[in-house]
Amino acid sequence: MNGPAVQKLGNALLLQGPAIADAYWLVSTGIRAAERNGHAVRPDVYRLQALLGECHRDALSALRHHDVAPPPDDESSDVELISTREAAEVLNVSPRHVQRIAASLDGRRTAGRWIFDRAVVEAYAAHANAGEAA
């Protein structure tokens, strides 16, 4: 990381390192509170959350998530999305445990529910099983 975690550049802000994770958490918490209290959330706030989440996941992947399959190169490829319950069945764990490790599975929240790419979940399961066999 070069320079401070938060910098003002003209009319823009530059967030780096832990500032990205903090901003993601704050925006996500604000969205949940607004939705819980019946307040409308502007679409650009959801876009900000998605961009911060993408940057945060990229940073985590670079640091420690070597067991997660990289995103497909071809955006038109067929991605089978599965629910928390289906991911739990693939991993042979509880749905709550799947929610705890959702970041490791590149899970995404959509309409208040977690969704996962089946291929990523199966790769995670294969890696976990290989570790148990050793």
Q: In this predicted model, what pLDDT tens digit does every residue of 80-128 receive, in sequence order?
A: 899 999 999 999 999 999 999 998 888 888 888 899 999 999 988 888 7
Whether the pLDDT of residue 36 is over 90: the answer is no
Output the domain CATH number for residue 91.
1.10.1660
DSSP β-bridge partners for residue 81: 117
- Please report the pLDDT score of residue 27 as a whole number: 87
Distance CA 34, CA 110 (A): 16
Residues 11 and 60 grouped into a single domain? yes
Residues 42 and 74 grouped into a single domain? no
User: Mean pLDDT, to the nearest integer, of 39-51?
Assistant: 86
Residues 41 and 92 grouped into a single domain? no
For residue 128, what are the domain limits? 68-134
* Final residue before a domain boundary, out of 14, 33, 64: 64
Residues 16 and 57 grouped into a single domain? yes
Distance CA 108, CA 39 (A): 22
Distance CA 18, CA 82 (A): 30
- Please report the pLDDT score of residue 64 as a whole number: 55
Residues 134 and 82 grouped into a single domain? yes
Whether the pLDDT of residue 66 is over 60: the answer is no
Instruction: Give me the number of domains the chain comprises.
Output: 2
